[in-house]
Amino acid sequence: MFDLKDLYQQVIVDHNKHPRNFGRLEDPSHEAEGYNPLCGDRLHVYLKVDDQDRIEDVRFEGEGCAISMASASLMTEALKGRTLEEFRALFEGFHELVTSSGDVACDETDLGKLAVLGGVRAFPSRIKCATLCWHTMKNAIERSGVARTE
C-alpha cells in the first residue's frame, strides 16, 4: 500500500514551500489559465517560445494544494530549454506516470525529477491536482484559454 510519505515526498514539500519559476512573465508568447472548480486550484502559466520552437522561459502563478504547486514548479523546471515536440512527449509520459494502474510502462528515468509525483497514482482524488498544470500548459501552447480538470 502506498503511504502518505510516497505522496508528500521531501521534494514535493520543498517545491510547494519554495516554488521555482513562480511569478509573472513579461511579454509571453503563450499563456493560459487553468482552474479546477472542484477544489478551487487556480494556475496561470506563461511561456516564451523562440522561433526554433524552443521554450526559452516559463513561469507560473497561482494558488492550490501542495501537489498542484509542486507539480507546476517541477514542470517549469523540466520544460525550460525543451522544444514543443519534447513537451508533447513529456506530457504523455507524465500523464501515464500519474494515471496508469500497476506498472508504469513509460521509463521513469526519462521524466527525471517529475517521477516523484508518481505517488499520486495511489490517491485517485488527487491526480487532477498533479495534472492541472500540464493541461494548462498544453492549452497555452495549442491555444490560449482556460483549462479545466474536473
Partner 1 sequence: MSLDVAAVKAQFPILDQQVYGKRLVYLDNAATTQKPRAVIHAIQSFYEKDNANVHRGVHALSERATAAYEAAREKVRGLLNACSVREVVFVRGTTEAINLVAQSWGMARLRAGDEILITEMEHHSNIVPWQMLCERTGARLRVLPINDAGELCMEQLPSLLNERTKLVGVVHLSNALGTINPVAEIIRQAHAVGARVLVDGAQAAAHMPIDVQQLDCDFYATSAHKMYGPTGIGVLYAKETLLDEMPPYQGGGDMIRMVTFEHTQYNELPYKFEAGTPNIAGAIGFGAAIDWLRGLDMGEIAAHEQNMLQEATRRAKDLPGLRLVGEAKHRATVLSFTMEGIHPHDLGTILDREGVAIRAGHHCAMPVMQRFGVPATVRASLAAYNTLDDLDALFLALEKACAMFA
Closest CA to 73 of 127, 13, 140, 124: 13
- Cell reading at 123: 490517491
22 contributes a contact to partner 1 by CB under 8 A: no
The least distance separating partner 1 from the CB of residue 40, rounded to whole angstroms, comes to 4
Determine if 64 is a binding residue for partner 1 (CB under 8 A). Answer: yes
Contact pattern for partner 1 over residues 107 through 126, marking x by CB under 8 A: ----------------x-xx
Q: How many CB atoms lie within 10 A of CB 102?
A: 6
Q: Minimal CA–CA distance to 7: which of 133, 127, 132, 136?
A: 127
Q: Is residue 19 a contact residue for partner 1 (CB under 8 A)?
A: no
63 belongs to the binding site for partner 1 (CB under 8 A): yes
Element at 14 (helix H, strand E)? helix 10-17
Give 102-133 as a DSSP string. SS--S-HHHHGGGGGGGGGGG-GGGHHHHHHH
Q: Does 146 bind partner 1 (CB under 8 A)?
A: no
Sole window of 1-9, 82-90, 102-110, 135-143 interacting with partner 1 (rule: CB under 8 A): 1-9
Residue 91: what are its φ and ψ, rounded to 5°?
Answer: -55, -50
39 binds partner 1 (CB under 8 A): yes
* Closer residue to partner 1 (CB): 54 or 148: 148
Positions in the binding site for partner 1 (CB under 8 A): 1, 3-4, 7-8, 13, 16-17, 38-42, 63-67, 123, 125-126, 129
